[in-house]
Structure 1
Amino acid sequence: PTSEAPAEPVELWVQSGNGGADALLAGYEELNAAFEAANPGVTIKFEVKSFTELVDTLPLQLSGDDVPDVTQVNQGYGSLGQLVTSGLVAPLDDIATASDWAGRQGEALIALNGRFSPDGKDMGAGELYGVSATGAWVGLYINKEIAKSLGYDAAPTSLEEMEAMLAKAKEAGVPGLMFGATDGGEQIWLMANLLMGYTSPQTVTDVINGVNEQLPPETLQAAETMQKWAEAGYLTEGWAALDSTEVLGMFAEGEGLFALNGSWNVFQSDTPENYGLVPFPLASASEIGAIASGDLPWSVPTNAKNPDLAKKYIDFITSPEASEIWIKAGQVPATISGNEQALVEANGLVGVSADAIVQWVNIMTNGTPIGFPDWATPTWYDTIAQSSTALMAGEISPQEFVDALQADYGAFTAERKAS
Structure 2
Amino acid sequence: MISKKARFIAVATTGALAVLAVTACAPGGNAAGPVGPSKVSDDVAAAGDVTLKLSDFWGSAEQDWIVSLIGQFEKKYPNVTIKRTQEDWGQLTSTLNLQMQDDGGPDIASANNGWSSLGTLAKGHLVLNLDKYADLYGWNEKVPTTIARQNKFTTDFKTIGEGSWFATPQARASLIGVYYNADVLKKLDIAVPKTLADLEKAAAEVKAAGQVPFSYSGVDGNTAALLGLQSLYGSEKDINDFVYGSKDVTAEDTGLTKAATTLEKWKSNGWLTPNFQGIDYQTSLADYLDGKGVFRFDYTGSLGLKGDQLNQFGYIQLPQASGDKTVGVGAAPGAMVISAKCKHPDVAAAFLNFLMSKQSSQTAADLGLVPALNEVETPDKLSQRGEAAATAKLDADDGYVPYFDWSSPTMLDVLSQNTQLLLAGKTTPADFSKAVDADRTAFLAG
Going from structure 1 to structure 2, the CA distance change for 1:352 and 1:38 (only over 3 Å counts) comes to same
SS in 1 for 2:191: coil
| Number of the residue aligned with 2:45 | 6
SS in 2 for 1:195: helix
**1:62-102 C-alpha deviation (Å, 9 max, x unpaired):** 34555544332221101110122122222223333443335
Report the TM-score, using the length of structure 2 for normalisation: 0.80
CA distance in 2: counterparts of 1:125 and 1:110, whole angstroms: 9
Going from structure 1 to structure 2, the CA distance change for 1:42 and 1:236 (only over 3 Å counts) comes to closer
Q: Tell me, yes or no, if structure 1 residue 275 matches structure 2 residue 306.
A: no
CA distance in 2: counterparts of 1:233 and 1:50, whole angstroms: 32
Q: 1:121 aligns with which of 143, 153, 158?
A: 158
| Number of the residue aligned with 1:108 | 146
Q: 1:290 aligns with which of 323, 328, 331?
A: 328
Q: Which runs of 5+ in 1 are unaligned?
A: none
Amino acid at match of 1:9: G
CA contact (8 A) 2:306 2:368 kept: no
Going from structure 1 to structure 2, the CA distance change for 1:273 and 1:333 (only over 3 Å counts) comes to closer
Q: Tell me, yes or no, if structure 1 residue 181 matches structure 2 residue 218.
A: yes
CA contact (8 A) 1:4 1:39 kept: no
- Aligned pairs for 1:225-236 within 5 A: 225-236=262-273
Amino acid at match of 2:213: G
Report the TM-score, using the length of structure 1 for normalisation: 0.84
Alpha-carbon deviation of 1:294? 1.0
CA distance in 2: counterparts of 1:195 and 1:138, whole angstroms: 11
CA contact (8 A) 2:176 2:328 kept: yes
Going from structure 1 to structure 2, the CA distance change for 1:245 and 1:139 (only over 3 Å counts) comes to farther
CA distance in 1: counterparts of 2:416 and 2:435, whole angstroms: 11
| Number of the residue aligned with 1:339 | 376
CA distance in 2: counterparts of 1:166 and 1:101, whole angstroms: 43
Q: Tell me, yes or no, if structure 1 residue 204 matches structure 2 residue 239.
A: yes
**1:187-237 C-alpha deviation (Å, 9 max, x unpaired):** x22222333222212222222223227423443333222222211222222
**1:92-113 C-alpha deviation (Å, 9 max, x unpaired):** 233334433355442212212x
Q: Tell me, yes or no, if structure 1 residue 222 matches structure 2 residue 253.
A: no
SS in 2 for 1:44: strand
| Number of the residue aligned with 2:408 | 377
CA contact (8 A) 1:292 1:369 kept: yes
Going from structure 1 to structure 2, the CA distance change for 1:275 and 1:309 (only over 3 Å counts) comes to closer
Q: 2:442 aligns with which of 393, 402, 411?
A: 411
CA distance in 2: counterparts of 1:8 and 1:256, whole angstroms: 53
Q: Which runs of 5+ in 2 are unaligned?
A: 1-41
Q: 1:75 aligns with which of 113, 125, 132?
A: 113
What is the CA RMSD across the aligned residues, in angstroms? 2.8
Q: 1:15 aligns with which of 29, 34, 54?
A: 54
Q: Tell me, yes or no, if structure 1 residue 31 matches structure 2 residue 69.
A: yes
CA contact (8 A) 2:52 2:83 kept: yes
SS in 2 for 1:402: helix
Going from structure 1 to structure 2, the CA distance change for 1:411 and 1:31 (only over 3 Å counts) comes to same
Alpha-carbon deviation of 1:271? 6.6
Amino acid at match of 1:309: V
SS in 1 for 2:174: strand
Q: 1:194 aligns with which of 210, 229, 245?
A: 229
Q: Tell me, yes or no, if structure 1 residue 61 matches structure 2 residue 99.
A: yes
Equivalenced residue count is: 401
CA distance in 2: counterparts of 1:254 and 1:269, whole angstroms: 16
Q: Tell me, yes or no, if structure 1 residue 352 matches structure 2 residue 391.
A: no
| Number of the residue aligned with 2:34 | none
What percent identity do the matched residue pairs reach?
Answer: 25
CA contact (8 A) 1:144 1:274 kept: yes
Q: Tell me, yes or no, if structure 1 residue 394 matches structure 2 residue 425.
A: yes
**1:158-209 C-alpha deviation (Å, 9 max, x unpaired):** x233223323333443322222111112xx2222233322221222222222
CA distance in 2: counterparts of 1:94 and 1:144, whole angstroms: 47
- Aligned pairs for 1:141-180 within 5 A: 141-148=179-186, 152-157=190-195, 159-180=196-217
Q: Tell me, yes or no, if structure 1 residue 94 matches structure 2 residue 129.
A: no
Going from structure 1 to structure 2, the CA distance change for 1:8 and 1:282 (only over 3 Å counts) comes to closer
| Number of the residue aligned with 1:242 | 279
SS in 2 for 1:43: strand
SS in 2 for 1:265: coil
CA contact (8 A) 1:138 1:292 kept: yes
